[in-house]
């Protein structure tokens, strides 16, 4: 198996089919973290970009503040991983399962201006097979966050038998500026 692992600035890019990482990988993008006011503004700062098909991560960590893990496309499996962030920190159009993962919300770093968002899924039409499934996951952290907001009109995210601490706001989902609202989420 050829490994296509590129380091671009503070971003790791995985773009190979049939890649398996087992406890080898932990990546933090500290570009705008900790957030200390206007001198360190909130901007996207990827820790990893995954676009290979049949890529699996076991016991890996992804740490950032905004747009931590870009699950671009392809089929991916995350097990016993930790993913941390505050805004859209798991986003993209991958067809992915997150099993027994810790989803750690850093909502307190947003200050008074708003709440965080765990997911921003990007399914463009109802015939696409992509979406995120969170199975037996633990959502913990500080501050408050929505489960997600649709990045595209037909976003699909499922939380199945997952523990949600009080960090998750009761509304669950935010329609964002999506003209389709929540009817497809």
Q: Per-residue pLDDT tens for 136-156? A: 999 999 999 999 988 888 889
pLDDT of residue 4: 36
Identify whether 166 is a catalytic site residue. no
Q: pLDDT averaged over the chain?
A: 79
Cis status of the peptide bond prior to 34, with omega within 30 of 0: yes
pLDDT of residue 2: 32
Q: Enumerate domains of the chain plus CATH numbers.
A: 16-32+50-164 (2.160.20.10)
Task: Please state, in angstroms and rounded to a whole number, the distance separating the CA atoms of residues 73 and 172.
Answer: 25
Q: List, for residues 1-52, the tens digit of each pLDDT value.
A: 333 333 334 445 454 445 545 454 444 555 555 555 555 555 666 778 888 8
The answer to whether the CB of 84 falls within 8 A of the CB of 116 is no
Task: Please state, in angstroms and rounded to a whole number, the distance separating the CA atoms of residues 125 and 110.
Answer: 32
pLDDT of residue 1: 31
pLDDT of residue 61: 86
pLDDT of residue 177: 66
Give the tokens for residue 74.
């392809």
Over 60: is that where the pLDDT of 90 sits?
yes
State if pTM tops 0.85. no
Catalytic residue among 67, 88, 109, 174: 88
């Amino acid at each position: 198996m050829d490994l296509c692992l590129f380091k671009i600035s503070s971003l790791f890019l995985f773009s190979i089919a049939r890649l398996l990482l087992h406890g080898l990988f932990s990546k933090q993008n500290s570009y705008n973290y900790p957030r200390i006011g206007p001198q360190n503004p909130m901007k996207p700062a990827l820790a990893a970009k995954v676009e290979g098909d049949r890529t699996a991560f076991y016991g890996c960590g992804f740490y950032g503040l905004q747009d931590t893990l870009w699950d671009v496309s392809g089929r991916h499996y995350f097990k016993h991983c930790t993913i941390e962030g505050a805004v859209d920190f798991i986003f993209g159009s991958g067809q992915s399962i997150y099993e027994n993962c810790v989803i750690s919300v850093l909502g307190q770093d947003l200050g008074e201006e708003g709440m965080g968002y765990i997911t921003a899924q990007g399914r463009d039409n109802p015939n696409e097979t992509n979406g995120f499934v969170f199975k037996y996951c633990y959502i913990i952290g500080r501050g408050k966050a929505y489960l997600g907001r649709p990045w595209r009109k037909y976003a699909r995210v499922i939380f199945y038998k997952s523990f949600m601490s009080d960090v998750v706001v009761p509304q669950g989902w935010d329609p964002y500026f999506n003209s389709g609202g929540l009817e497809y989420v």
